[in-house]
Structure 1
Amino acid sequence: MRKTLNEIANWLSQDPVNFGETIVTGVSIDTRTISKGDLFVPFRGELVNGHKFVEQAFEKGAGASLWLKDEPNPPSDRPIIFVESAELALQQMARAYRQQHNAKFIGVTGSNGKTSSKDILASMLTPYYKVQKTMGNFNNELGLPLTILSLDEDTEIAVLEMGMSGFGEIDFLSNLAKPHYAVITNIGEAHMQDLGSREGIAKAKFEIVNGLGVDGVLVYDGDEPLLQELVANGPKSVQYLSFGFQDNHALTAYDLSTVDQGSSFNVRGLINGDFFIPVLGQHQVKNTLNAMLIANALGLTEDQIRKGLQQVSLTNMRMQLVNAKNNILFINDAYNAAPTSMRAAIEFVQSTTIRNDKWLVLGDMLELGENEQQFHEQIANVIDQSKITKVCLFGPRMNWLYNQLKMNFASEQLVYTENDYNVIIQYIEQYANDETLILLKGSRGMKLETILNAFI
């Protein structure tokens, strides 16, 4: 981005300002990561007032700053724009920049797989376009505007992750980003405590169609009946493309297998043939299908898609293979967890032939609402004692799963601790070896990577 301060003032419906020809090349809300030329946006919270850091922002190279109109003692010798609300100003700037930008915008939401789908799509398209994507978890009402404002003016594809915890949030993000293409990866159980049911979750995710323009495209999990129903009654101006493992989708995957630290599979539908991704897991193949459909809609050939998929890489802690101390092999899938993604990860471990001594290290699944005990207990139905050697459980909610598993697993196969990582670390040190494969899977708040860090 390269705009004068007066251009930004115009975005904010403000009159020309002092130092109006100052060039702004980005936006920041954090002086710790501010770059030269950024416009600093000071937020005022209960504990911290960002206005105290405005001078520091200028010292670190900020080109200009916003300032709340009711905040006293503004600097008179600095490039400043006065606004009523920092949050609304940030969103208004993003909306204006989005309207001027010529990139193809792609919005990605879903209960699980948002980040993986974003990573797969961005990686696959990078050889053919200039692509930028949401970094980290900048996927909410503040993060999405910052992501949009971080786009280079010559970016051709913008892949934007959209997160939510309640109704109306995806609607807001979609109408801000105005995507040309939208993806719903799946419907799981995350945020059940806020949305009440899987039906509520599906409706909240489906709000992503609200920002699609005429001829917009929604790519969705066609194996999910709740989405099938919403699509049947959705806006007629939208083109709907389904993906999944069942028949009659726009793109169906079959003959999946794990090969050489990746996944091979065949597809039929709008694309046909055999493909490979250097990523583990059947659920990651499903995330790949939505990326393939968008690539096809953008005009990439099957050969281009095949070559693009070969260079896919995911953000850390998503089915990440880590060869650790004593040649113990970890699958670090500890970024987050919900029943759907936990079942998928466990089923992968049970089916893989990477190693024979297979362990599960599972942490609490959070934000599941009043049925959280049932969701934890039901994981026992997925775990096959004939395929899993040992199970380690971490967190107060995992006690529910522990009580189910101890009926089938011998005491020496099963470890439970409410909050002590060292219990599991010492167990791994004692019993794991160079034939051991260990899955780490839990919600972000459980920080199961702490266990992995003891071995690297």
Structure 2
Amino acid sequence: MKRQLTELAGWLKADGQNMENTIVTGASIDTRTLSKGDLFIPFRGEQVNGHQYVQQAFDKGAAASLWLKDEPGAPADLPLIFVDDSELALQQLARAYRNELTCKFIGVTGSNGKTSTKDLITSVLAPHFKVRKTEGNFNNQLGLPLTILTLEDDTDIAVLEMGMSDFGEISFLSEVAKPHFAVISNIGEAHMQNLGSREGIAKAKFEIIDGLKDDGKLFYDGDEPLLRNLVGLHPGLQTVSFGYSETADLKLVKMESGDEGSNYKVTGIVEGDFTIPVFGAHQVKNSLTAILIADELGLSQEEIRSALLDASLTDMRMQPVISKSGALFINDAFNAAPTSMNAALSFLRETGLRKEKWAVLGDMLELGDNERTYHESIAHQLNKIQLKGILLFGPRMKWLYDELKKTGNGSEIIWSEDNYEPLIQELLAYSDKDSIILLKGSRGMALEKIMNGVMEA
């Protein structure tokens, strides 16, 4: 963004001071990550008042700042815009700037896999277009507007991740972004405590069509009956489905894991063989959207294939890491819900990358009233896998530990409620170059600390 401060004040219909000849090139709500030329946006909360950092923001190169009208002590010598509400002003700025941009917007949501899907779409398009994607967890009512305000005028494509924990949130983000393409990667169980059921989750994710352009398209998981039902309620909606289903517009017909990643074949809108340098059938499925959108934007099959070979995902998404002993960690510890847990365990069951298999699992959070049942049900998957060891971490994993003991799983099973050390020591003692070790748990469990403990020993 490169706009006169007076223009931003006009977007907000707000008054200001010292605005003449001030150019703003971005926006920030945190002085620690502020860039030169940013508009600083202070928030006033119960614990911290961002106005006390305004001078610091200017010292770090901020071009201007917002200032709440009812906040006393506005510095008379600084370029400021006076607003009633910082959050609403940020969102209003993003809406106005979005309306001036000519790039294609792609909105991505889903219970699991939205970050990987965003990364794969970006990887395929980046060699051929100027692409900007959501960084980190900037996928909410603050992060998405901030991402829009960082887009340069000549951006070709913006790939925006959209997260949520309750109804109405995806609708709001979609209305701000007004995507040309919308993606629903899948429907799982995350945020069940707020949304009540998988049906509720599907409806909340489907809100992504609320801001979809009139000629826009929805790309969705065709294996999910809940999404198929919702699509059926919108006969005028342009949709493209992907998955294993016979009726999918892009069908995954064959997949195998190799040392370099996952090889697979698709039929339908695109026909051919592809490879991604990532493990797991769920990641292959996430890549189908990238293939479809790249095809929609005119890339050839060979261009798509070549770009996928070099695809890179955000860390801790089925990320391979080799330890000093030669053991292969599959770090999928960014987050977990029953759907993604089953997908990761399916990979562990099917892979032949190493002959000795370990499952290191942490609590799945935010599952609501049925959380015990969801944790106990993992035993069914684990009992299908010949495992050298099952290492469980977190208070909820005690339910799975008891279930495994009850069903008589023959593997070595260790449970630790809040101490990583017993699990680290078990891996140090008994894993080696013949071992593959899956790490899977919710973000709050930080299971990567177990891998790091092994690496640093």
TM-score range for the pair, normalised by the shorter chain length: over 0.9
Residue 307 in 1 paired to residue 306 in 2? yes
- Contact 2:15–2:82 (Cα < 8 Å) also in 1: no
Q: Aligned equivalents of 1:57 and 1:82: distance in 2?
A: 17
Q: What 5-or-longer segments of structure 1 have no aligned partner?
A: none
The aligned residue for residue 129 of structure 1 is 129
Moved more, 255-264 or 199-208: 255-264
The aligned residue for residue 268 of structure 1 is 267
In the TM superposition, what whole-angstrom CA distance separates every residue of 1:399-442 from its partner, at most 9, and x where no partner exists? 11111111345687000011110010111111111111100000
Residue 394 in 1 paired to residue 393 in 2? yes
The aligned residue for residue 58 of structure 1 is 58
- Contact 1:334–1:441 (Cα < 8 Å) also in 2: yes
Matches within 5 A, 1:269-308: 269-308=268-307
- Contact 1:385–1:408 (Cα < 8 Å) also in 2: no
Counterparts in 2 of 1:184 and 1:176: CA distance versus 1, 3 Å? same
Tell me which amino acid in the other structure corresponds to 2:89.
Answer: A
Give the secondary structure class of the aligned counterpart of 2:278.
coil
Identity %: 60
Q: Aligned equivalents of 1:433 and 1:34: distance in 2?
A: 44
Q: Aligned equivalents of 1:390 and 1:368: distance in 2?
A: 26
Give the secondary structure class of the aligned counterpart of 1:186.
coil
Residue 44 in 1 paired to residue 29 in 2? no
Q: Aligned equivalents of 1:217 and 1:122: distance in 2?
A: 18
Give the secondary structure class of the aligned counterpart of 1:396.
coil
Give the secondary structure class of the aligned counterpart of 2:151.
coil
Tell me which amino acid in the other structure corresponds to 1:428.
Answer: L
The aligned residue for residue 437 of structure 2 is 438
The aligned residue for residue 249 of structure 2 is 250
- Contact 1:9–1:17 (Cα < 8 Å) also in 2: no
Q: Aligned equivalents of 1:394 and 1:260: distance in 2?
A: 29
User: Cα offset for 1:57?
Assistant: 0.5
User: Cα offset for 1:14?
Assistant: 2.3
The aligned residue for residue 160 of structure 2 is 160
Tell me which amino acid in the other structure corresponds to 1:240.
Answer: T
The aligned residue for residue 202 of structure 1 is 202
Matches within 5 A, 1:181-260: 181-234=181-234, 236=236, 238-260=237-259
Q: Aligned equivalents of 1:30 and 1:386: distance in 2?
A: 46
Give the secondary structure class of the aligned counterpart of 1:207.
helix
Residue 404 in 1 paired to residue 399 in 2? no
- Contact 2:4–2:23 (Cα < 8 Å) also in 1: yes
- Contact 1:185–1:221 (Cα < 8 Å) also in 2: yes
Give the secondary structure class of the aligned counterpart of 1:454.
helix
- Contact 2:42–2:49 (Cα < 8 Å) also in 1: yes
Tell me which amino acid in the other structure corresponds to 2:104.
Answer: K
- Contact 1:329–1:436 (Cα < 8 Å) also in 2: yes
The aligned residue for residue 115 of structure 1 is 115
- Contact 1:220–1:240 (Cα < 8 Å) also in 2: yes
- Structure 1 stretches of 4+ with a deviation exceeding 6 A read none
Tell me which amino acid in the other structure corresponds to 1:157.
Answer: I
User: Cα offset for 1:384?
Assistant: 3.3
Q: Aligned equivalents of 2:379 and 2:313: distance in 1?
A: 28
Moved more, 376-385 or 196-205: 376-385
Tell me which amino acid in the other structure corresponds to 1:421.
Answer: Y
User: Cα offset for 1:19?
Assistant: 2.6
Q: Aligned equivalents of 2:98 and 2:20: distance in 1?
A: 22
User: Cα offset for 1:272?
Assistant: 0.2
In the TM superposition, what whole-angstrom CA distance separates every residue of 1:118-145 from its partner, at most 9, and x where no partner exists? 0000011011100000000100000100
Give the secondary structure class of the aligned counterpart of 1:243.
strand
Give the secondary structure class of the aligned counterpart of 1:275.
strand
Q: Aligned equivalents of 1:213 and 1:6: distance in 2?
A: 30
Residue 102 in 1 paired to residue 98 in 2? no
Counterparts in 2 of 1:151 and 1:386: CA distance versus 1, 3 Å? closer
User: Cα offset for 1:324?
Assistant: 1.1
Q: Aligned equivalents of 1:45 and 1:220: distance in 2?
A: 38
- Contact 1:223–1:245 (Cα < 8 Å) also in 2: yes
Tell me which amino acid in the other structure corresponds to 1:325.
Answer: K
User: Cα offset for 1:294?
Assistant: 1.1
- Contact 2:65–2:81 (Cα < 8 Å) also in 1: yes
User: Cα offset for 1:261?
Assistant: 2.6
- Contact 2:16–2:80 (Cα < 8 Å) also in 1: no
Q: Aligned equivalents of 1:409 and 1:21: distance in 2?
A: 74
In the TM superposition, what whole-angstrom CA distance separates every residue of 1:330-377 from its partner, at most 9, and x where no partner exists? 000000000000000011011111101000000000000000001111
Give the secondary structure class of the aligned counterpart of 1:111.
coil
- Contact 2:331–2:440 (Cα < 8 Å) also in 1: yes
- Contact 1:358–1:436 (Cα < 8 Å) also in 2: yes
Q: Aligned equivalents of 1:408 and 1:352: distance in 2?
A: 24
In the TM superposition, what whole-angstrom CA distance separates every residue of 1:267-302 from its partner, at most 9, and x where no partner exists? 011000111111110000100011111111111121
Matches within 5 A, 1:334-353: 334-353=333-352
The aligned residue for residue 449 of structure 1 is 448
Q: Aligned equivalents of 2:64 and 2:385: distance in 1?
A: 63
- Contact 1:385–1:409 (Cα < 8 Å) also in 2: no
Q: Aligned equivalents of 2:395 and 2:260: distance in 1?
A: 33
Q: Aligned equivalents of 1:265 and 1:138: distance in 2?
A: 31
Tell me which amino acid in the other structure corresponds to 1:447.
Answer: A
The aligned residue for residue 383 of structure 1 is 382
Q: Aligned equivalents of 1:81 and 1:70: distance in 2?
A: 13
User: Cα offset for 1:211?
Assistant: 0.5
- Contact 1:42–1:66 (Cα < 8 Å) also in 2: yes
